[in-house]
Structure 1
Amino acid sequence: MFKNILIKINGAVDGIRGLISFMTRIPMGNFKSGFEEISKYFVFVIFIGMFIGFIGSIVAYPFFYLGIKSYMLIGALVLFVMLYIQGFHHVDGLGDYGDAWMVMGIARKKLEVMRDKNMGVGAFMFIFFTELISVASIGYLYEITYSNFLLFAKFIILVESCSRLGLLTCACCGIPSKDGTGRYFVKNTDEYHLFIGYLILMILSFVMNIPKIGVICSTFTVFFGVFMAWNSNKSLKCVTGDVLGASTELTRALVYIVLIFSLYIY
């Protein structure tokens, strides 16, 4: 019995290592798990978001310490570091999603455009404006938390975690595609994983002492993730890996807007 438990623990650790390796540029060494096994631990993507948000916020600390007020520069640097850690993995999906969004026609035609290696105007505009919103929002948060680095870090960690909750929600509510790596994550993610992900965000919000803002941002994230899945199920007849990537980037940008509005309400 003890041996079986040990085997299961080793399998889980290997699967989580595989997930981290797939979702980031963090070196995790050799692992045996394939996408089928990795996808079973998809809920741990929330913790990956926390870690990336933490690293991104640390980048801004020297600017806080020196009193530098170049807000857009700081926003760009923080976002670049976070995107770099994730290997620009989801940005690529956002671009493909943007191209497919601009196509008028049946689902098969949209999917063909999404898989095309060429970058169209839809991809450029989606990436440019989505990431611009994030850059400007991070810069604004730096401005209003100018004397409180800890609060700034809490906001960055919260939003980056929410972006992964949006990814998890989209996978939970989506229809698996017939091919591609994304189908494993959609197929093996259900309401239980979504509940656990939402619960983790609630706990994080209370631990960081921003419960009201955390509840608002997390709840909005779930609704937006459901919308992303519903829209893709309707227009593409499935949720692909590119849609999952796009959900991460779009969720981040929109949650930053919700966060900023929430700060004025509360």
Structure 2
Amino acid sequence: MIDELKGLVLFMTRIPVGRSKSDFEGIAKYFMFMPLVGTLISLFGVFTAYILNYLGFTSGNIIGTAVLFTLLYIQGFHHLDGLADYGDSWMVTGNARKKLEVMKDVYMGIGGFVFVFFVELLSLFSFAYLFETSTFTLFLKYIIIIETCSRLGLLSCACCGIPANDGTGRFFAKKSNEYHLLTGLIFSLGVSILLQIPKIGVLCSILAVFLGMFIAWKCNNKLGCVTGDIFGATAEISRMVFLIVIIAFTPYFSLIG
């Protein structure tokens, strides 16, 4: 189990946790730990924000840019590439086969560029806004819960999606089931309780499950399956959605205590 968990971290991040001999079949058995992988990634964003704040940086744009870049870098830009491929498939007219072929090619079309540009730009400015309008401690907690729940959305998509015929994503879609999703949901809620932000945690966790289900449903209908690129796109879109939702709903939470 330890070796397979190491394999999951190595595949999903650039974190050097040693070598793993596990194959994708073995790694996929523990896909329910994806929310905690998101938690692990978030700690690097927290560290970046803490260092910059300690050095006296007070610009939300600088902090937001640095935090987002750190998160994307630690995950190896895997999900960013998936978001670009997913965006290209949206803009292609034709059957499912043609859309899947576009996702597999090495080029980025206008659809992929627009998806990456606006999703990440909204995420950047949202991080900047939260930094400037929240206490610093609360801002750090937001980074953690958002990355945790974005991987819960990815897990939900894998659980509800139809496996593709090829690609590494098929192993995770085949192995993921309701037990994995429930376990991942418990992990996410546990993180929010430890952070002492249960209301935000419950909101983002439930939203992550339904967002992942929705993207899987759309892809099942349009593409006939879900792929690794779609999982990556789900994580990136989820982060953006959670940031916007937190900005929108935090004032109401403060009113009800």
TM-score, L = length of structure 1: 0.93
Partner of 1:192: 179
Match in the other structure for 1:65: 54
Partner residue, 1:263 = 250
SS at match of 1:239: coil
Q: Which amino acid aligns with 1:80?
A: F
TM norm structure 2: 0.96
Corresponding residue for residue 53 of structure 1: 42
**1:1-266 correspondence to structure 2 within 5 Å:** 12-145=1-134, 148-266=135-253
Q: Distance in 2 between matches of 1:39 and 1:237?
A: 21
Alpha carbons of structure 1 residues 22 and 69: separation in structure 2 relative to 1, 3 Å: same
Q: For 1:57-91, what per-residue CA distance to the aligned partner results, in whole angstroms no more than 9, with x for missing partners?
A: 22112343354331111111101011101100110
Code of the residue aligned with 2:249 in structure 1: it is S
Distance of 1:52 and 1:165 partners within structure 2: 13
* Secondary structure at 2:37 match in 1: helix
> Match for 2:138: what amino acid?
L
Gaps of 5+ in 2: none
Distance 2:146 2:219 in 1: 23
Q: Which amino acid letter does the alignment assign opposite residue 111 of structure 1?
A: L
Distance 1:213 1:113 in 2: 37
Q: Note the C-alpha offset of 1:112.
A: 0.7
CA distance in 2, matches of 1:166, 1:195: 12
The one-letter code matched in structure 1 to 2:237 is L
Is the Cα contact below 8 Å between 2:13 and 2:41 reproduced in 1?
Answer: no
Q: Render the CA deviation track for 1:216-238: whole Å, top value 9, x for unaligned.
A: 11111111110000000000000
Counterpart Cα distance in 2 of 1:259 and 1:82: 18
> How far apart, CA to CA, are the structure 2 residues paired with 1:73 and 1:249?
20
Name the amino acid aligned to 2:69. Answer: F
Q: Secondary structure at the match of 1:37?
A: helix
Segments ≥4 residues shifted beyond 4 Å: none
Distance 2:51 2:100 in 1: 44
Q: Take 1:33 and 1:65, find their aligned partners in 2: how far apart are those partners?
A: 40
Cα distance between partner residues in 2 of 1:39 and 1:70: 41
3-state SS in 1 of match to 2:129? helix
Name the CA distance, whole Å, in 1 between partners of 2:78 and 2:9.
12
User: Retained in 1: the 8 A contact 2:90–2:111?
Assistant: yes
Q: Distance in 1 between matches of 2:54 and 2:65?
A: 18
- 2 CA distance for matches of 1:201 and 1:114? 30
Mapped to 2, the partners of 1:191 and 1:206 lie a distance apart of 22
Residue identity matched to 1:226: M
CA drift of 1:29 comes to 2.6
Distance 2:193 2:214 in 1: 26
Q: CA deviation at 1:26?
A: 1.3
Q: Distance between the aligned counterparts of 2:39 and 2:110, measured in 1?
A: 32
